Structure 1
Amino acid sequence: MNQKIMETLEFHKVKALFEPLMLTEQGAVELRELMPMTDAAKIQQAFDEVTDMAQLFVEHPRFSLGATIDIAPAMKRLDLEADLNISEILAVKKVLEVSKELVDFYQQLENVDLIQLPSLFEKIELFPHIQGSLQAINNAGFVEDFASETLTKIRRKIRESEDQIRQVLQDMLKSKSDMLTDTVLASRNGRNVLPVKNTYRNRISGVVHDISASGSTVYIEPRAVVSLNEELTHAKAEERHEISRILQELSDMLRPHSRVIRNNAWVIGHLDFIRAKHVFARTYQATIPTLSLTKDIALLNVRHPLLANPVPNDLYFKEALTAIVITGPNTGGKTIMLKTLGLTHLMAQSGLPILADKGSRVGLFHDIFADIGDEQSIEQSLSTFSSHMTHTVDILATADQDSLILFDELGAGTDPQEGASLAMAILEDLRLRGIKTMATTHYPELKAYGIETLGVENASMEFDSQSLRPTYKFMQGVPGRSNAFEIAKRLGLSTAIIKDAENMISTDSDVNHIIEKLEAQTVESRKRLDTIREVEQENLKMNRVLKKLYHEFSREKETELNKARLEAQEIVTMALAESDDILKNLNSQASLKPHQIIEAKSQLKKLAPEVVDLSKNKVLKKAKKEKAARVGDDILVTSYGQRGTLTKQLKDGRWEAQVGLIKMTLKADEFTLVKAEKAEKPKQKQVHVVKRTTGKGPKARLDLRGKRYEEAMQELDEFIDQALLNNMSQVDIIHGIGTGVIREGVTKYLRRNKQVKEFGYAPQNAGGSGATIVIFK
């Protein structure tokens, strides 16, 4: 389809209405590249997708997708054997997470009949191993310690070096406080330094990193920490190198699957685009039209999508109709009707909902041409008429039976008589060629052409002679009439002058009276049609209410019947037990034959009614299904407090999980499932479920003095979990002062724990900085 029609009808502004509704960059890219289609099958597929989404929203009105960014550049870098950086890996990680959420959603989807969406959901492929490995990088872009054993060792070494440096400097702050301008450490060039008074600069040996502006303070890195800082710098360089190696390893893991991951991203973006179409339809009261291959157009209450308060109109452009000629004065809305027809078809052939009522039909056109507006060219020295005629010539040479042509003020800009004749000749040429055309004109001669010519119909825009304002109502089948005399009369022009003017054009007065009657009949018909539509809407609402009540009644009826069946079964069961006792007594007392006893018992059993097996209820099945762990689920390893992904279930019931770059084998009670957070719901506190340990009771104090760092951190984790499990509001942790390693480890752990409301050192009489008091949320 030609690009000029997109610009003329401002199709880019229509696409801009969808941009705020998009959640993913992939969907936004698809929207930007959207163009009208000419393949009926593809257009119908797009319509069916939106219809499916509407059906899905009935059962899941809060359906949404996680926000993702475009990973196409990252996948291209992988194909070129380049490694991804952290932000690119996070984008891929998000795509895989959203893919997993969509697959889980589709597997649990019930009671929805879909046509096109299943094939999209089924195209998504999951990579639980890769998902587990990507947990090594958290959502903030930090590479976790557990990403590799080497990184864990390096960071432990960094922490120890930092603690040693801090301790040495703290001791010097105390011992040499009289030589310092401040008792707080400063930082220069990435190194911790002492603010030494200039008069004592020779008393403290070390490296001078800076001097204050006044010259009174010299910032010295003491010689005692220089070697420690060198070790720290070396360790940080090793950390950067190890992180680079981890990113390379993750990139190598992703590279063989780049095509599939790129396809997953496209599916996510396409589903987002379909969702945006449905939200647009719901927001703007738009609808999915029927596609007519015979170009039988019927637009019910159609509106222009770019107007703030558009007036709805009905437009019928039947198969046998070739041209619609809209006559009448300016500012009545004729050009808007032209643009509405063209823009509605551009939207429909792009697979978008149109602003019209349900039941509307659109045609299929391979091209749409329009000559709208004043396109006078100063550079080419062309007049308005010449410019329009040049464009018209191009349209006539290119258009065919699969085209739609829109002419605004056809033949204008020249002598009225010649212009009218030229307009009729152009319309007649298009009629004979069977090309659908809508044209606006001021020429009264075209009214007669519309009445007398087969396949051509007159139309006009309604004008309120009382208020002297246009109503912007489209009246099909009624030619436009001039309201000059009525307007002049209401504005105070002399009656004698108006009568003289009417006598001068007495030949047209009868025509104007006929048109006036037709207008009145059209307005009356429209009022009746509006009343019919209101009644129809009321009937539809009543029908929906009755259906809902019927379904509720049926459910309650079935529930009550099932209760009655259960009670009846209990009664019959009791009766059977009693009958067994009676038959035993009879058998022992009388000479009854065994087959007679069996027959009697079977007849009693027939009295028991059939009871519905509630265990087969779909809702209960779905609830049980949601509780069971499945391959690809995100988990939290209880003993380590780290996240991972289930990759395989072993025959003995245990699970294989990928936690960072480490593969683990876990029992079902050694991990908990982590629920995916929905985009539209507020975040909930994540509760770590731990196994209850046996003991005399919960302890409110933990003593870590004398413990090794790893042992202390493990005991701290178990202690906090037990305190949360027992709903304790406050606990004490004794860690001592020592080197400060365990104290800092406790501080970092508490800062990361989301269940901790606040914490701080104990009062001086209760341990001071050697103990920490923790208050939970």
Structure 2
Amino acid sequence: MNNKILETLEFEKVKALFEPFLVTAQGRSELQVIGPLADMKRVQGQFEELAEMADIFVESPHFALGETKDISGLVARLALEGQLNIEEFLALKRLLEVTKHLKDFYEDLENVQLTQLSRLFENLEVFPHLQGSLQSINDAGFVESFASPALAKIRRTIQESEDQSRQVMQDILKKQGEMLVEGIIVNRNGRNVLPVKNTYRNRVPGIVHDISASGSTVYIEPRAVVTLNEAITNARADERHEINRILTELSQMVQPHHAAFKNNAWLIGHIDLVRAKHLFARKYQAVVPEVSADHSIQLLNVRHPLLEKPVPNDLYFGKELTALVITGPNTGGKTIMLKTLGLTQIMAQSGLPILADRGSLVGLFHQVFADIGDEQSIEQSLSTFSSHMTNIVRILEDVDQDSLVLFDELGAGTDPQEGAALAMAILDDLRLRGIKTMATTHYPELKAYGINTPHVENASMEFDTTTLSPTYRFMQGVPGRSNAFEIARRLGLSSIIITEAQSQTLGNTDVNQIIEKLEQQTTESRRRLDKIKEVEQENLKFNRVLKKLYNEFSREKENELDKARGEAQEIVDLALAESEQILKNLHDQAQLKPHQIIEAKTQLKQLVPEETKLAKNKVLKKAKSQKAAKVGDDIIVLAYGQRGTLVNQLKDGRWEAQVGLIKMTLAKDEFDLVKKEEPQVKAKPVNVVKRANTKGPSARLDLRGKRYEEAMQELDEFIDQALLNNMAQVDIIHGIGTGVIREGVTKYLRRNKNVKSFGYAPQNAGGSGCTIAIFK
């Protein structure tokens, strides 16, 4: 689309409204090049992205991105196999962190179906091993000592030498304090020196680094610390050399992935731009319009985005309507209405939300042309009329059926009769070519043209004759009328003069009266429409209140049900405990057979409601859903207190971690995960599946890998089943591990009166990892 229309309608100022919502350099760069498109598929794709972003904010209202810097320079440097500096590494490190955050966010996102945005999230590429290596550069740009063993050794040497130097200087301060101006250590030219009185300069051996302006103080580096300071200087040179070597090694490490970094930056920037569009829409109450295939336009309560308090208006520019002619006096808002239409079209075709209500419809035009404003040129000796006509000639040569044309004060700047005739001829030419046109004019002749010509409609801007000021309300279908007589009367002009003037324009009086009645009817219709909208808004509010009350009622109902279930569970647990005690007493007193007791216990357990069992299963399921480590997670190595990143899990359960340039192998208890703020995830319903028992009773129970409570429950059920089947002995595999489950098994078997004896299995059959129980 031509740049002239973008300048005329101040599209750059509109784009500037989106900048406060952007947090990435790439997002800001993409905003700068955004512009109107004529491809229906691409425009619809951008609107779908915006709709999906709205769904994301419903699920995660605080969705945010981390701030990133421009990486185009460092990517170009890597492409040439150059070395990155500290600032560039910090920018790259930040990019990798934001990439990892977005990738984790997408993987944890539930209840949201993404199509357009999913391709952005899925194409993000994470580099956990690079993130681990870049931890050696902290956020302040300091290269950590754990970046390499050599750097750590050099810094220890520097620290030791500085401590020795400081101790020597302190000793001198104590022993020769009377020779010093002050009892402090100062720094000159990067060396620690003492401020010695000039009269004692020969009594303190060393190197003079400076003399005060008055000459009374001499700054001397004592000979005793010269060697130490030289060692420190050399060590600092070694430190700089080692840091440079580390940066070179890191540059070589990241160099093969420069194309992926560039792609990640673009993806993050595009997600940032879509997020900014959504935040803009929320703040300015903008909407995503529908796009028509036949150039139809329907704008509901459309507003100009650059006005501080715009007046909303409705505009209908249907398929059959070719031209819309707005007549009326100046300062009524005709030009603003013209610009609002053009700017809304350009915003929509650029994939931006428009300032209108839901249900709005925009067309799709290949070009938008406009002749707006006074372009009088002194250099080219062009009058206002000539400059306008030159522009109009150029527009008429370039337009086609896929164009939208906007004319402001068409035919102005010349003889009114000739100007009106030219305006009608130009509009008729565009009408016959089927080109949608909106034009503003002062000429009364165009009112009749709008009434008598097919596919052309009149419009005007409302004027309040009581306050003698425009209301900026758009009245479609009503031509504008002159208010000169009414204004003159209210300003005090003699009624005789006004009557004489009206008699000279007698032919137009009836027309103005008709227009006045049309305006009254339009105003009344708008008043009724506003009343209908108020009722509609009240209904919407009432509907929202009802939904809120219904949701609160549903929550309270569920809470009461949960409370009732809990109370029922307590009653059931109490009944089971009492039944256990009764059965125990019966067994002690009547010497009942064990299988009779077990059968009775089974019958009592069957009395437990199914909902209680389901709740119990949910508790067990929840106990298992603890956060587990995964590749790419940030960790703290407990032994060193350093930060790293998990890069691989070994078969024996241990992990490989990248800590600076060092890769180390760690057990699970040798590191802690770095806690992150995770979005709340709704618990998935637990499916209780009953499996048919297709095999006979087993004489072996495996409790390895189970939690203590779960293992004890399974053990109790297993022993009952074994007794029911008259088994002589059973094997209980509990493993060695921490010994908690093994101890629990021992305590249980010791308490059970049906167990004759128990002990560990032979060494070749499991040893202390398995217990054999023999029944009475």
1:723-759 deviations in Å (ceiling 9; x for gaps): xxxxxxxxxxxxxxxxxxxxxxxxxxxxxxxxxxxxx
Partner residue, 1:588: none
Q: Residue 627 of structure 1: SS of its match in structure 2?
A: coil
Cα distance in 1, alignment partners of residues 237 and 563 from structure 2: 73
* Counterparts of residues 360-759 of structure 1 (less than 5 Å): 360-557=360-557, 609=610, 613=614, 627-676=627-676
Deviations for 1:571-603, whole angstroms, at most 9, x for unmatched residues? 89979x989x99xx9xxxxxxxxxxxx9xx99x
Give the deviation of 1:618 after TM superposition: 13
What secondary structure does 2:203 align onto?
coil
1:697 matched to which residue of 2?
none
What are the residue-to-residue correspondences of 1:157-168 with 2, within 5 Å?
Answer: 157-168=157-168
Alignment check: 8 A CA contact 1:53 1:278 kept: yes
In 2: Cα distance, 1:566 partner to 1:200 partner: 89
CA displacement at 1:238 relative to structure 2: 0.6
CA distance in structure 1 between the partners assigned to 2:473 and 2:237 by the alignment: 75
Pick closer, same or farther for the CA change 1:444–1:539 going to 2, 3 Å: same
* Residue-by-residue CA offset, 1:374-421 (whole Å, 9 max, x unaligned): 000100001100000000011110111111111000010011111001
Q: Is the 8 A contact 1:298 1:360 kept in 2?
A: yes
1:357 aligns with 2:350: no
C-alpha separation between the residues in 1 aligned to 2:616 and 2:395? Answer: 69
1:405 is matched by which residue type in structure 2?
V
| Mapping of residues 5-16 of structure 1, within 5 Å | 5-16=5-16
Q: After TM superposition, give the deviation of residue 478 of structure 1 in Å.
A: 0.2
> Which residue pairs with 1:68 in the alignment?
68
Deviation at 1:59? Answer: 2.3
Q: Please say if 1:202 is aligned against 2:202.
A: yes
* Contact 1:66 1:678 (C-alpha < 8 Å) held by counterparts: no
CA separation in 1, counterparts of 2:621 and 2:475?
A: 57
Letter aligned with residue 332 of structure 2: G
Q: Distance in 2 between matches of 1:399 and 1:445?
A: 25
Provide the C-alpha distance between the structure 1 equivalents of 2:143 and 2:402, rounded to a whole number of angstroms.
59
Match of residue 316 from structure 1: 316
SS in 2 for 1:400: coil
Q: Distance in 2 between matches of 1:674 and 1:332?
A: 63
Deviation at 1:80, TM superposition (A): 0.8
Query: Partner residue of 2:153?
Result: 153
Q: In the alignment, which residue of structure 1 is the partner of 2:251?
A: 251
CA distance in 1 between partners of 2:439 and 2:508 (Å): 23
Q: For each residue in 1:244-290, what CA deviation from the matched residue of structure 2 results, as whole angstroms up to 9, or x when unmatched?
A: 11111111111111111221122221111111111111111111111
Distance, in Å, in 1 between the alignment partners of 2:619 and 2:445 is 70
Cα 1:114–1:555 shift into 2, 3 Å: farther
CA distance in 1, matches of 2:41, 2:125: 26
Deviations 1:288-340 (A, max 9, x none): 11111211111111110001111110111111111100000000000000000
What CA distance in whole angstroms lies between the structure 2 residues aligned with 1:620 and 1:453? Answer: 75
Identify the residue that residue 230 of structure 2 maps to in structure 1: 230
The offset of 1:451, in angstroms, is 0.6
Q: Render the CA deviation track for 1:472-511: whole Å, top value 9, x for unaligned.
A: 0000000000000000000000101101101101000000
Amino acid in the other structure paired with 1:237: A
**Inter-partner Cα distance in structure 1 for 2:226 and 2:235:** 14
Alpha-carbon shift at residue 629 of structure 1 (Å): 2.0
The worse-fitting range, judged by mean Cα deviation, of 382-391 and 557-566 is 557-566
Per the alignment, do residues 290 and 101 of structure 1 end up closer, same or farther by CA in structure 2, a change over 3 Å counting? same
The answer on whether the counterparts of 1:565 and 1:609 sit within 8 Å (CA) in structure 2 is no
| TM superposition shift of 1:624 | 7.0
What secondary structure is seen at the aligned counterpart in 1 of 2:338? Answer: helix
Structure 2: distance between partners of 1:606 and 1:192? 86
Between the aligned partners of 2:66 and 2:625, the Cα distance in structure 1 is 23
Runs (5+) with no aligned partner, structure 2: 587-598, 680-776
**How many residues are aligned here?**
664
Q: Specify whether residues 49 and 643 from structure 1 end up closer, same or farther in structure 2 by C-alpha distance, changes over 3 A only.
A: same
SS at match of 1:202: helix
Q: Deviations over 1:70-100 (max 9, x none)?
A: 1121111100110111111111111111111
Provide the rounded CA distance (Å) in 2 between the counterparts of 1:53 and 1:553: 30
Matched residue, 2:697: none
SS of residue matched to 1:664: strand
Q: Distance in 2 between matches of 1:495 and 1:329?
A: 23
Q: How far is 1:676 from its partner?
A: 3.9
What's the offset of the Cα at 1:512? 0.3
Which shows bigger deviation, 526-535 or 330-339?
526-535
Contact 1:568 1:609 in 2 (8 A): no
Partner of 1:269: 269
Q: Distance in 1 between matches of 2:76 and 2:32?
A: 21
Whole-angstrom distance in 2 between the partners of 1:616 and 1:282? 43
Q: Deviations over 1:547-582 (max 9, x none)?
A: 34434444554565567678779989979x989x99
Whole-angstrom CA distance in 2 between matches of 1:24 and 1:84: 21
Q: Give 1:114-129 correspondences, 5 Å limit.
A: 114-129=114-129
1:749 aligns with none
Residue in structure 2 matched with residue 689 of structure 1 by the alignment: none
Q: How does 1:126-141 map to 2 (within 5 A)?
A: 126-141=126-141
Aligned amino acid, residue 165 of structure 1:
S
In the other structure, the counterpart of 2:45 is: 45
In 2, are the aligned partners of 1:21 and 1:280 still within 8 Å (CA)?
A: yes
Q: How far apart are the structure 2 equivalents of 1:533 and 1:615? A: 52
- The TM-score, its normalising length taken from structure 2, stands at 0.81
Corresponding residue for 2:729?
none
Q: Which runs of 5+ in 1 are unaligned?
A: 586-597, 680-777
RMSD: 2.9
Indicate the SS of the match to 1:409.
Answer: coil
Query: Could you tell me how far apart the structure 2 residues matched to 1:617 and 1:631 are?
Result: 28
Query: What is the aligned-residue identity percentage?
Result: 68
Rate the CA distance shift 1:137–1:626 in 2: closer, same or farther, 3 A: farther
2:242 aligns with 242
Kindly provide the amino acid, as one letter, of the partner of residue 352 in structure 1: L
* DSSP-derived class of the 2:202 partner: coil
Structure 2 CA distance, aligned partners of 1:500 and 1:115? 71
For 1:636, give the aligned amino acid: I
Larger CA deviation: 256-265 vs 143-152: 256-265
* Most deviating of 545-554 and 47-56: 545-554
**What is the rounded CA distance, in whole Å, between the counterparts of 1:307 and 1:464 in structure 2?**
21
Q: Distance in 2 between matches of 1:570 and 1:197?
A: 88
Q: Indicate the residue corresponding to 1:106 in structure 2.
A: 106
Q: Larger deviation: 119-128 or 412-421?
A: 119-128
* 8 Å CA contact 1:136, 1:661 repeated in 2: yes
Distance of aligned partners of 1:404 and 1:571 in 2 relative to their CA distance in 1, 3 Å threshold: same
Q: Distance in 1 between matches of 2:177 and 2:144?
A: 39
Instruction: Deviation per CA, 1:672-707: give whole Å up to 9, x if none.
Output: 22134799xxxxxxxxxxxxxxxxxxxxxxxxxxxx
Q: Which residue of the partner structure matches residue 290 of structure 1?
A: 290
Q: In 1, distance between residues paired with 2:511 and 2:552? A: 61
1:422, distance to aligned residue in structure 2 (A): 0.4
CA distance in structure 2 between the aligned counterparts of 1:88 and 1:350, rounded to whole angstroms: 33
CA shift in 2, pair 1:247/1:556, >3 Å: same
Q: Distance in 1 between matches of 2:627 and 2:479?
A: 69
In 1, Cα distance between equivalents of 2:473 and 2:357: 16
Cα offset for 1:647? 1.5
Moved more, 347-356 or 539-548: 539-548
Give distance in 2, aligned partners of 1:417 and 1:616: 89
